[in-house]
Structure 1
Amino acid sequence: MSYLLPSLMLLALLVGIFSGYPVAFLLGGLSIVFMFVGDVPLASFSLVTNRVFGSVLENWILAAIPLFVFMGIMLDKSKIADNLLYELENLFRGKPGGLGLAVIGIGIVMAASTGIVGASVVLMGTLALPMMLARGYSKTLAIGIILGSGTLGILVPPSIMLVVFGDVMQVPVGDLFAATIIPGVMLALFYILYVLYHAVFAPHKVPPSPVSANPQPLGRILLRVLRDLVVPALLMLSVLASIVAGIATPTEGAAIGAGGALILALCKRKLSVAVLNDSLQSTMKTTGMILFLAVGATAYSLIFKRLGGQTMIEDAVAAFGLSPYVVVLGIMLLIFLLGFFLEWIEISFLVLPLFAPIVATLDFGDAFASQTDVLLWFSVMVAVNLQTSFLTPPFGYALFYLKGIAPPDVSTLDIYRGVMPIVGLQLLAVLAIALFPALALWLPKFV
């Protein structure tokens, strides 16, 4: 069987991506061009329409995306992190690395509440970066802490990416939410250890915040921290618990979160017609971008498979006779490299539909109880891997977000240097999940 056309289709996609042409248009255009070049019957293209409406636009699970986006935007508008940063700094005042730990704490709260990487990075870059530099923190270390904790939102549930994964991989979204909690906590612990290492061996890079002349009692500070945490924590727990426990579907859980975020903004007196209008417009733009890519990727993958692309990939894997773990490692490497040039949305809709069927058929022996466990483990590794797509130059969006609001003396080279250790820690997390699948599979089974 000739694999010329599917190979050319992949090559055309790579050329188009590097040309800077919008990926959604590129996917749709290439599917039409190669349908005629490959002499695929025009009637077959009606399957694309059926899939677009049946699998994308009418998909009940994907309806959770605009609700989660709206929830995150409204929580960001509520300014839940503004006071919390200062209270956490007071909690760690006088200790080397204390401010860095406070920033990581804010990153965890923002990740579990808004889930919007741009909002988290911009917020912490605006609030924390000038404060950290004024306290004498190493410039690259401060940048790394902010970028690492600011991108946790793409992994920690409720995450839009996990909703997309659930649809693409045909894995229950509730299981995905449960499976990423331990890896998310592990990654946050890696960041904390990164700060503590410098606090012990290079304290000049993370100097302590000066102790106030009139220090406040520790109990009072803790009460204020809990006060600022309790409302967003209850909201997130209600959303996650309802979905993971199977009480509500992801869409119903997202609706609970969106309604709760709206009420919280109202109670904090941050809700106005202008804020609501801005939030709705941002939600529509983000949702439209995701669904547009889903439509283009649906057309591309269908024509690619009709030209023999899926068989080509399966034959290539079989020809090398590689271990299943080596195959998964190769896919992880490919996804990591694609993250230098593409967003997580594009990689999710392009790569996962092609490789998920192959991973599902790999023989791992007795390492996994079922095919669903394999796909769940693979999905969590991909999710952690895709977090690096926000941080790897030249197109890591989090780098652009931070550069846009950073002080003038913070150069692009400083940002690149600061993010490299964080990328290394994220790859270490991928390796840990690969070696110890229970990190991803234990909690879903327990729940």
Structure 2
Amino acid sequence: MTDPQVGILMMGIFIFTILLGYPIAFTLLAMGLGFGYYAMGDRVFDLLVQNTFDVMANDVLTAVPLFLFMGYVIERANIIDRLFFSIQVAARNIPASMAVAALITCAVFATATGIIGAVVTLMGLLAFPTMLKAGYDQRFASGVICAGGCLGILIPPSIMLIVYAATAGVSVVKLYAGALFPGMMLAGMYIVYVIGRAMINPRLAPPPPKEELDRPMGEVMLLLMTSFFPLAVLILCVLGAILLGLATPTEAAAVGSLGGIVLAAIYRALSWDRLRESVFLTARTSAMVCYMFIGSWTFASIFSYLGGHDLIEQLILDANLGRIEFLILAQLIIFLLGWPLEWTEIIIIFVPIFLPLLEPFNVDPLFFGMLVALNLQTSFLTPPMAMSAYYLKGVAPPHVELMSIFRGVLPFVAIVILAMVVLYVFPEVALWLPNTMYR
């Protein structure tokens, strides 16, 4: 077998092994070292050490644990409970008000943390039982929680965008600016959908009791002032500092972490146990992410060394595709890969296959990154490997079946695909803000 064929074999064995349920990070390391020893001999161990050092010393990736810590502090301080309740009261006159409140809370919480599992799990414990108790359709409520929880992949400060920036050599600041409008667009499409469905079929989302509708405006404003606005100000300060060039993402993440601690203290929810738990969860998640990066970069380096990237690149170039056809093919491959793989492997292993092809097909790397970020929403929502559905099932009441959750998320998958079509047709949705701010 030629080296490129060995590289393709390596990829096939990796995907097959993942489908068997083996841990992804250690599978990547084992595959990289095994095939690397075949291709490079003892030098593969030097490559592993170098990749480990590069991950630990990467200035861009330093922001990851800081954003994680900010999210865990906010989560442990029970700030999201207040946020959901206040938005629910403020949106009480809107059809499907509880679903709208859940989506807005998910978007805000996703902005604060970017951890899909944490958002879906917390909202599954907080909002999902409340929606079911209020008479919401089980599938409808499931789709709202799962789809809303995945917005953290796209909405800044997305950890996925940080990893894409490190992989593609694109500015994190420009990616954050580019993702702002697509993220708001997708969240807005979700909200329009749930309101429309509730107007067509009110039984899916019964209106709240009359006593909840009679709250004075002063009480509503007080709830918003003490829950929504403080967290919104913290997020806007972090994102504003990044987008205006006042701080690097790492510096802004550090300030955001401090702001999360201050906010928890103001709410009298800061305790030594909660702070220690947040530090522990941050360290555990960061270690997992770092091992994933090390394994992915080692695997990708060996795959490229064997000529796997070149072989796939040449096959695509020889197909004589047009720009739109190339983009559709790339996104279809990423969509399919999202079933068995985590987004980290897709970004670090497979996206670099397409990056050298962006220039021949005249595709902006920033625009491509926005399409990938939108596409990766589906990897968490598409059965049978919809991880957000499994997160929700893990905390849902026993009578909620996994198939009901799967059926509930399918309309939101269609909305994501529609959002990608809108972005194809109107690329300025993603490109206008970064091109205007950073000429």
Shift of 1:245: 1.5
Shift of 1:2: 6.3
* 1:31-180 equivalences in 2 (<5 Å): 31-38=32-39, 40=40, 42-43=42-43, 46-53=46-53, 55-180=54-179
Following the alignment from structure 1 to structure 2, what is the Cα–Cα distance between the partners of residues 64 and 435?
A: 33
Following the alignment from structure 2 to structure 1, what is the Cα–Cα distance between the partners of residues 3 and 212?
A: 78
Q: Deviations 1:356-380 (Å, cap 9, x if unpaired)?
A: 2222x2233xxx6xxxxx1100011
Following the alignment from structure 1 to structure 2, what is the Cα–Cα distance between the partners of residues 171 and 21?
A: 32
1:196 is matched with 195
Secondary structure in 2 matching 1:132: helix
2:367 is matched with 377
* 1:226-237 equivalences in 2 (<5 Å): 226-237=225-236
Following the alignment from structure 1 to structure 2, what is the Cα–Cα distance between the partners of residues 213 and 308?
A: 64
Specify whether residues 280 and 441 from structure 1 end up closer, same or farther in structure 2 by C-alpha distance, changes over 3 A only.
same
2:407 is matched with 417
Number of matched pairs? 436
Q: Does 1:6 align with 2:4?
A: no
Q: Does 1:444 align with 2:414?
A: no
Following the alignment from structure 2 to structure 1, what is the Cα–Cα distance between the partners of residues 3 and 130?
A: 61
1:358 is matched with 357
1:283 is matched with 282
**Amino acid across the alignment from 2:399:** D
When structure 1 is superposed on structure 2, of 252-261 and 146-155 the one drifting more is: 146-155
RMSD: 1.9
Is the Cα contact below 8 Å between 2:156 and 2:179 reproduced in 1?
Answer: yes
Secondary structure in 1 matching 2:211: coil
Specify whether residues 213 and 174 from structure 1 end up closer, same or farther in structure 2 by C-alpha distance, changes over 3 A only.
closer
Q: Which 4+ residue blocks in structure 1 deviate beyond 6 angstroms?
A: none
Secondary structure in 2 matching 1:136: coil
Is the Cα contact below 8 Å between 1:93 and 1:210 reproduced in 2?
Answer: no
Specify whether residues 262 and 213 from structure 1 end up closer, same or farther in structure 2 by C-alpha distance, changes over 3 A only.
closer
Following the alignment from structure 2 to structure 1, what is the Cα–Cα distance between the partners of residues 77 and 397?
A: 25
User: Alignment identity in percent?
Assistant: 39
2:260 is matched with 261
Following the alignment from structure 1 to structure 2, what is the Cα–Cα distance between the partners of residues 29 and 90?
A: 52
**Amino acid across the alignment from 2:360:** L
Specify whether residues 29 and 216 from structure 1 end up closer, same or farther in structure 2 by C-alpha distance, changes over 3 A only.
closer
Secondary structure in 1 matching 2:399: coil
Following the alignment from structure 1 to structure 2, what is the Cα–Cα distance between the partners of residues 95 and 28?
A: 51
Following the alignment from structure 1 to structure 2, what is the Cα–Cα distance between the partners of residues 213 and 221?
A: 11
Is the Cα contact below 8 Å between 2:92 and 2:213 reproduced in 1?
Answer: no
1:21 is matched with 22
2:216 is matched with 217
Specify whether residues 318 and 209 from structure 1 end up closer, same or farther in structure 2 by C-alpha distance, changes over 3 A only.
same
**Amino acid across the alignment from 1:162:** L
**Amino acid across the alignment from 2:398:** P
2:301 is matched with 302
Specify whether residues 405 and 358 from structure 1 end up closer, same or farther in structure 2 by C-alpha distance, changes over 3 A only.
same
Is the Cα contact below 8 Å between 1:25 and 1:296 reproduced in 2?
Answer: yes
When structure 1 is superposed on structure 2, of 210-219 and 194-203 the one drifting more is: 210-219
Specify whether residues 5 and 80 from structure 1 end up closer, same or farther in structure 2 by C-alpha distance, changes over 3 A only.
same
Is the Cα contact below 8 Å between 2:70 and 2:256 reproduced in 1?
Answer: yes
**Amino acid across the alignment from 1:271:** L
Following the alignment from structure 2 to structure 1, what is the Cα–Cα distance between the partners of residues 37 and 108?
A: 51
**Amino acid across the alignment from 1:32:** L
Q: Deviations 1:285-327 (Å, cap 9, x if unpaired)?
A: 1111111111112222222222111210121011111112212
Tell me the TM-score normalised to structure 1 length: 0.92
Following the alignment from structure 1 to structure 2, what is the Cα–Cα distance between the partners of residues 122 and 57?
A: 29
2:388 is matched with 398
Is the Cα contact below 8 Å between 2:124 and 2:396 reproduced in 1?
Answer: yes
